[in-house]
């Protein structure tokens, strides 16, 4: 009886040992892969930088820049790359300027248009993998040269990004591969 118990005990012990080793190994490997393969999320910094860049480019000391009046390309005016901000990219820029009578004076829209709707959803949503948006409306001054008076205008900037980067090849490398 004692002999039987001992053998049975050893068998159970080795089985349990094998089982726990496999369990621990799987847990360690899964956690390590999940931790080190998780994307480094810099979208919150990026979206605020984009917002700041546009705001600084449109406003000068609280006033709307004079040359904004003309039919300008905002991307070019603000030194933003049109090849990086397009319909296939991970950015959205929507800028609107309203005059004193709340009428739309000028608006620009670049990048992923579908992000506009996603931004509206994201206001009521708490999801870490969802895109990040800044929708800011502020009062700006406009110097009317015809009446020589300051006017209170409004500037609305909506920027969004879902740029996490990717593993693979650059656009240039892909183009050269296609050509070959």
| CB 112, CB 126: distance < 8 Å | no
Helix (H, G, I), strand (E, B) or coil at 54: helix
Minimum CB separation of residue 91 from another protein in Å reads 6
Determine, following the binding rule CB under 8 A, whether residue 89 of this chain makes contact with another protein. yes
Determine, following the binding rule CB under 8 A, whether residue 166 of this chain makes contact with another protein. yes
- The residues facing 158 across adjacent strands are 94, 135
Residue 95, by phi and psi: left (phi above 0), alpha (psi -120 to 50) or beta? beta
Query: Of residues 168, 177, 178, 180, which one binds another protein by CB under 8 A?
Result: 168
Minimum CB separation of residue 100 from another protein in Å reads 32
Helix (H, G, I), strand (E, B) or coil at 14: helix
Distances (CA, A) of 14 to 5, 7, 10, 110: 14, 11, 6, 64
- The residues facing 108 across adjacent strands are 95
Structure tokens, 14: 């080795």
> Please, which of residues 21-80 interact with another protein by CB under 8 A?
21, 24-25, 28-29, 32-33, 36-37, 39-40, 42, 45-46, 49-50, 53, 75-76, 79-80
Which of 36/123 has CB closer to another protein? Answer: 36
Which of 64/92 has CB closer to another protein? Answer: 92
Query: Of residues 64, 74, 91, 97, which one binds another protein by CB under 8 A?
Result: 91
Minimum CB separation of residue 33 from another protein in Å reads 7
Choose one: 96-104, 135-143, 148-156, 158-166; the region binding another protein (CB under 8 A): 158-166
Minimum CB separation of residue 61 from another protein in Å reads 18
| CB 153, CB 142: distance < 8 Å | yes
Structure tokens, 98: 């309203």
Residue 46, phi then psi, degrees to nearest 5: -65, -45
Q: Which residues bind another protein (CB under 8 A)?
A: 17, 21, 24-25, 28-29, 32-33, 36-37, 39-40, 42, 45-46, 49-50, 53, 75-76, 79-85, 89-91, 163, 165-173
């Amino acid at each position: 009886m004692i002999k039987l118990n001992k053998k049975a005990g050893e068998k159970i012990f080795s089985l349990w040992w094998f089982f726990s080793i496999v369990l621990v190994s799987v847990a360690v490997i899964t956690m390590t892969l999940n931790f080190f393969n998780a994307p480094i999320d810099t979208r919150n910094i990026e979206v605020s930088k984009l917002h700041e860049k546009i705001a600084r480019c449109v406003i000068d000391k609280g006033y709307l820049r004079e040359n904004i009046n003309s039919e300008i390309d905002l991307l070019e005016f603000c030194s933003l790359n049109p090849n990086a901000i397009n319909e296939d990219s991970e950015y959205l820029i929507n800028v609107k300027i309203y005059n004193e009578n709340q009428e739309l004076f000028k608006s620009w829209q670049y990048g992923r248009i579908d992000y506009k709707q996603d931004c509206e959803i994201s206001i009521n949503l708490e999801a870490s993998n969802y895109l990040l948006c800044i929708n800011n409306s502020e009062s700006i001054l406009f110097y009317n040269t015809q009446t020589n008076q300051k006017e209170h205008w409004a500037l609305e900037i909506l920027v969004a990004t879902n740029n996490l980067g990717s593993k693979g090849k650059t656009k240039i490398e892909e183009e050269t591969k296609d050509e070959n």
